Amino acid sequence: MAWALTRLGSPARLLLSRAHDEAYHRHNDCISSTHLLLALMADDADPMVRALHTRGVEPQAIIVGADQLLGPRRAPRFIHVAYSPNAKSILFHAARRAEAGDGADTAPPHLWWALSRAPHSTAGGLLFELGQLDYLEGRTW
């Protein structure tokens, strides 16, 4: 896990910070794949987010699904939060994908790729319910 975290580029570190923020505000004990999905969806400039928008998936649909899975946002509770096994796997596989490609730091497209290949994660289930998991897998290299 430490290796995967050292591979994060600046945009991916910002994304991971957003995922932590989601866990803190939802009083969750760990960062899950759904926290990573919420963080990915927060960047309206991201090409994958724009593609999902054109397919009718609004951030609010992801937020509603996250609220059902994780509980609503509220005043933050700042405690140490660990990574769920699925979140660890997504981060690790994204870092491996980045390294295998051009050796660049892990970036949001690598995280989208890894998330789209984690169908048994909570985020994968949410994307499946929205009819977007296969689309994402086909759109990521």
DSSP code of 104? Answer: P
Copy the structure tokens of residue 74: 């509220």
pLDDT of residue 68: 92
- Give 104's pLDDT tier (boundaries 50, 70, 90): confident
CB–CB of 111/40 below 8 Å?
yes
Determine the average pLDDT of the residues in 108-122.
93
Count helices and strands (H / E) in the chain: 9, 2
CB–CB of 126/62 below 8 Å?
yes
pLDDT of residue 71: 87
pLDDT of residue 94: 95
| Tens of pLDDT, residues 23-75 | 999 999 899 999 999 999 999 899 999 999 999 998 889 889 999 999 888 88
Nearest to 64 by CA among 56, 72, 75: 72
Task: With residue 30 as reference, give the H or E element that holds it.
Answer: strand 30-31
pLDDT of residue 73: 85
pTM of the model: 0.88
| Tens of pLDDT, residues 76-101 | 877 888 999 999 999 999 999 999 98
CB–CB of 38/19 below 8 Å?
yes
CA-CA distance, 125 to 140, in Å (whole number)?
Answer: 18
Angle at 87 between CA 83 and CA 92, to 5 degrees: 105
Q: How many CB atoms lie within 10 A of CB 74?
A: 10
